[in-house]
Chains A and B, each alone.
Chain A
């Protein structure tokens, strides 16, 4: 499967990945210039944690081999695609219980801020041809896609 690999030493915390993710998942049309950065509906699927020593830790969905989120989903909204290996989320099925948020050992998931009914979850930009927007936006190649054996 393809996985977004992370070289955290290269991360500068610029959040270009987060903006690219917000732009990729915005519901209205537009460019990054008019992406409303104050609109809570625009949420990034990834986030960057700054450590006390000034280094950054990118938190990106790993699309785990054994996804704990899928193993907690009581609605069938979260599934692991056997063909691509990606962990997909179907918001229309989601029961908004957020057990997946509890169960992701890496703290990648969150409830959507605006409605608290959906999970904010990486979809590998499958609708945009599967080249993740975050990867394209990273000025340092701190995130990049690699084929890994599932």
Chain B
């Protein structure tokens, strides 16, 4: 049995480990454009020079040997031939498979603003390769413009502020981290970034660019006509699934590869997991999807059930935040807010159940909230102490000593 996995990110690596655990004797081949296994969530630490590429890895150094995996790195898969069970690489090498997992992830989306897509000093921050290119330009660049104040944008801003750059962040919304945080929580981080020297231009879009003869953008023109001089542009305006290898094939895909609850595509023996499957862009979910796909590839029927994806954590300048749910209150919702000098907490309770929660400043022991939201646990009798809930409230112990929610 030969399992082929395209992609060495969270989903691909987790799948490989899971397959190895289930089928010690199976052949596993991994194909990745990346030449180093790396955690995308830590690329900013590479940019800030806190970590080198080796320390971006999330697997042990001897992972491929130890797990007996053949790793074809630095190569993209260009086609998947499902009828013949073959994967064709960009150099036309053909690898046959019995089971295939496509976990190619996603690439940065560069919007067609001015010469963004042409310029040589405009980058996304998605792959180690991106980070390396940014790092090179940053050697000489002083003024950095970051488009987008989501987590990737702020990660990039943090890293370049650490390196003493003049950083400006342009954000379409009227606040930073608009998807994860409300205004109050966003302000906390905005202030911390501003104290570190960052400038924010909120409620503004980049509408055009001025490029010099060398192909570098020198100015970005905003929708209010304002011109921002820059030596380096980082675009953090979202990602697009990396589906090029299935575009010409039989595998059903629109923006994402479509999968069922077993992470199967419409083609036999072909699975997809992680960002490419479009179910969630969150690391833990990608790992679970990779694990689920792997179980099914090994013949164990396991459904992907843990689908809750409206979750994130962040940690800038020592302030940690947990954000679960959309955070937007609807009519009839109860919004509980608790704020003090050290923390900001906000919960949205809908029909006696927790819909969203935001904990900023102190997120110690907060793991229970995801469980409560995802399982829509009725907390109507406990809602007056919503921020004091703990597993103690649902305490149960299974015979094997593991905890077991009592609801």
Contacts and interface: CB of A to CB of B under 8 A. Distances in A.
A and B touching (C-beta < 8 Å)? yes
A107 B400 contact: no
Interface residues on A, range: 35 or more
B363 A62 contact: no
Contacts of B391: 49, 57, 59, 105-108
Interface in B325-380: 363-368, 370-371
Contact of A76 (B57, B322, B400, B403): B57
B234 interface: no
Contacts of B395: 8, 57
B365 A47 contact: yes
Interface stretch (A30-38, A95-103, A130-138): A95-103
Contact of B366 (A3, A72, A107, A148): A107
Contact of B401 (A59, A98, A109, A146): A146
Contact of B365 (A6, A71, A95, A107): A107
B367 A104 contact: yes
A108 B311 CA distance: 18
A115 interface: yes
A88 interface: no
A108 B313 contact: no
A98 B288 CA distance: 17
Given A72-B283, A75-B58, A95-B45, A109 B365 contact: yes
Contact of B367 (A3, A8, A109): A109
Nearest to B13: A76
A97 B315 contact: yes
A71 B315 contact: no
Given A3-B401, A6-B397, A76-B58, A105 B284 contact: no
Contacts of A117: 318
A103 B367 CA distance: 5
Mostly, the B contact residues are mixed
B251 interface: no
Interface residues of B, number: 46
Nearest to A59: B391
Interface in A35-62: 47, 49, 51, 57, 59, 62
A111 B400 contact: no
Contact of B313 (A57, A64, A101, A107): A101
Interface in B50-97: 55, 57-60
A128 interface: no
B284 A99 contact: yes
B397 A99 contact: no
A111 to B, nearest CB: 5
A74 B58 contact: yes
Given A76-B59, A116-B315, A148-B401, 20 more contacts: A8-B395, A49-B390, A49-B391, A49-B392, A72-B287, A74-B10, A74-B39, A74-B283, A75-B42, A95-B39, A95-B42, A97-B313, A101-B320, A103-B367, A105-B368, A105-B371, A110-B365, A111-B315, A111-B363, A116-B320
Interface of A: 3-6, 8, 47, 49, 51, 57, 59, 62, 64-65, 68, 71-76, 93, 95-99, 101-111, 115-117, 146, 148-149
